[in-house]
Structure 1
Amino acid sequence: MAEPSGTTSGTSGTAAAAQPAADLDELMMAMDVVDTLRHDRRMLERELGQDDRDEALKQRLRELYEGQGLAVTEAILDEGIAALRESRFSYEPPQPSLAVTLARLWVSRMRWGPWAGGAAALLVGWLLWSALAPSEEARLAADLEAAAQKAAALADDATAESRLAELRRRTEAALAAGRLDEAEAGIAEFGRLADRLAAVYDIRIVSRPGTLTGLWREPDVNSSARNYYIVVEAVAPDGAVLARPVANEETGRTETVKLWAKRVPKATFDRVAADKTDDGIVQESLLGSKRAGRLAPDWAMPVEPGAITSWEK
């Protein structure tokens, strides 16, 4: 007898509904197979080393599951072994990356959140300061420009201008090469040159009781020769005696002094000595004049390079 059509429809619906459940059962069974394989390390080490390891694994698994009263199909065993080799059901930690680090920080935010606010504020402040504060190189470049312009505005002769141009070239090269100490020293030298250019004074021969007017020295390298010196001081237009930096040729040191002895040829030495011998006073006391805008004095009498800052024995 033919069954009612309604019964046939109901049977088909039940079979269709049962299909996903069966698939899920097979998946769970395959995962169980993988778990069994993974935890039986001695079996893996033994069986996976054989040429027919797949068949040996499946036989071992059949025995295990039959011992538990479970029937496992050939397809499930194959699926489980393949899944193990593919690491399909195992967890592999992600490779280190910025995204992974940020994700872990987000997950753990409740632990570090309370103090991170203060750290973030400090970080933001530091970033702002770094962006707004000038670098050391930028500061030195600005200082160099200001010092060079100040000195150049004071220079009034070719010698001074050439000296300033050379100093600027060397200082800019040091700054570009990152030699900041050398660049800073160059900027300081611009300041000293500006002071020299601005200074105005006369170099007067000293002629007063208790102070030498002239002297001579025998060089250490040649005892048969003599170096002649006239003792002088720098006098400002208002009559004040100025302290000036003077390089002592005997010691190699530069000292700031109010009294020094300028080296002169013997003819100048004899001329000053004759002037003083006449009445005890040097009438022609002007040895040279330092004008604004120049680095060196204009000499009223012949002189030689060199000076000393001490001579008392």
Structure 2
Amino acid sequence: LGAFDYISKPPDLNRLLTTVRNALDKKELVIENKILKKKVSKNYEMIGESPEITGIKEIIEKVAPTDARVLITGSNGTGKELVAHWVHEKSERHAAPFVEVNCAAIPSELIESELFGHVKGAFTSAIKDRAGKFETANKGTIFLDEIGDMSLSAQAKVLRALQENKISRVGSDKDISVDVRVVAATNKDLSKEIEEGRFREDLYHRLAVILVKVPSLNERRDDIPMLIEHFSEKIGVEQGTAPKKFSKKALELLRAYDWTGNIRELRNVVERLTILGSDEITEEDVKLFASK
């Protein structure tokens, strides 16, 4: 009977084709999204297999799915921002905004407006209402880089935002609810800053639920050959050329250097050697173009 019904009343082929096409489109979209996600993740890839970096990756895997606040410490150029990006990308908030604020680059008189926004007329140049970074990051993550340079008045407002999940724009007494995960970073010794009255101890304890110390490059020398290979490939793509190989002696020499500028300095040296060095980077190239 079922076969007879199928023959006597054939299905709407156009509808069937549309259903199949829609299903294929959805599958293709999922695949494209996965590929895109991999590309985004690769931009912030943490290169290295040293115990120090492996330990950080393990911490991120445990912490990222939670909403726990993270305080990242380490010298300039060590890659603190990469840790912040990884925490966001591996969290449930990865589809929401990741908003970065360099607290050291914003004048102290403007930091509150930058973070919390302002209303028209709040100060001379406030010609219209403006949302701050906390509102922009709603449902996502805000990364407060170099938070040790933030003014005490701004620290007080950040503390309130963390305690109450509310902010108020400069010049307004209206509260705005925000749902933001805070990740902060600093190259300063906050314990010393607290002792000298430049950083609030109560804010420190609010931020430092999870502490992540990013090691200097000198503390993870085993990762240097892998980092050099990574930067060489990346620079080759940027310049449209084949990545250059480094001789064993060249790698040994670079591995022994004192990298005071950390990852940032290493990347610059690899680019310099790529441009000025031989087809295969030799020990002589390193001594000539990358000597300290």
TM-score w.r.t. the length of structure 1 is 0.25
Q: Which has the higher contact order (CA 8 A, sep 6+)?
A: 2
User: Rg bigger for which structure?
Assistant: 1
TM-score w.r.t. the length of structure 2 is 0.27
